[in-house]
Amino acid sequence: MSRILDGNRIRDQIKSECLPRVERLVARTGRPPGLAVVLVGDNPASEVYVRSKTKTAAELGMMGETITLPASTEEDELLAVIEALNQRREIDGILIQLPLPHHVDAQRVLLSVAPDKDVDGFHPYNAGLLSTGREGPRPCTPAGIIQMLKRYEITIEGKNAVVVGRSDIVGKPMAFLLLQENATVTICHSRTHDLASICRTADILVAAVGRPALLTEDHIKPGAVVIDVGINRVESRVEAERIFDAKRLADFDRRGSLLVGDVHPGDVARLSSAYTPVPGGVGPLTIAMLMRNTIECAERRTGIE
């Protein structure tokens, strides 16, 4: 029977480990680690994510500050806000909540964050540190996945790992982190030929493509560990029939939509040795790793080992 990898459990472990580190920083520096989140516009989903981040920071005794700007904010105005945060000593981490309005160059904005405050690990400087195995902020979702695998005592070294998706946020950093753990890594993407046969070579399969239940039984080697990063909302009854069993279809009919990952939920539960559910798998880890990254940035900036 497949083992469910509970992201909430790992999240709580990581948060509990953050508490004494925050206390030590306060004792040494006289202030808690500071996280600033910049939100532009009124995207409801982004607002929920930001509230979750600042709430978690408060729970850990950290200073969480949200800068909310109207959707009409010009790019130069946003850059000026970020530069002011770069200069503030009490701010250890800066997070730009995506997506940004269409008239704003998101890449330019992300590049404006000081690398030593880049708690998302997106800055090219930190991407370079990651690719060369040097210490620095790691993108939160891939770093959380590595924590989950280790804490569930799933062997990474020597295993064949396949990452489906090549984004700068998940796919590429995931591959580098798996390489650092001595896995043999293959990255697949939209131009990969015969995706299913390559996925079936994976002892560890990471799906991060953003397409509902794209990976099915044809892609899963029996006994593989499957990490599903996707969070997709299914609103079509026809699509729901392809993905869900009768019980879940009844839930769909009652609610009008359901969340599903990038991997077919029935197939992964039947074939894998362990897998992350959606929701409740990878998602809870991201904010916990954001808090850990902020604390580590504060420790580096204050010279605490």
Tokens in use for 194?
A: 């015969």
User: Taking a C-beta distance cutoff of 8 angstroms, is the pair 63, 121 a contact?
Assistant: no
Catalytic (active-site) positions: 53, 97, 120
DSSP state of 115: G
- The widest CA-to-CA distance across the chain, in whole angstroms, is 58
The angle formed by the CA atoms of residues 43, 49 and 51, to the nearest 5 degrees, is: 100
Report the side by side order of strands in the sheet with 63-69.
Answer: 63-69, 34-40, 93-96
DSSP secondary structure string, 188-236? E-TT-TTHHHHHTT-SEEEE-S--TT-B-GGG--TT-EEEE---EEE--
User: Taking a C-beta distance cutoff of 8 angstroms, is the pair 252, 234 a contact?
Assistant: yes
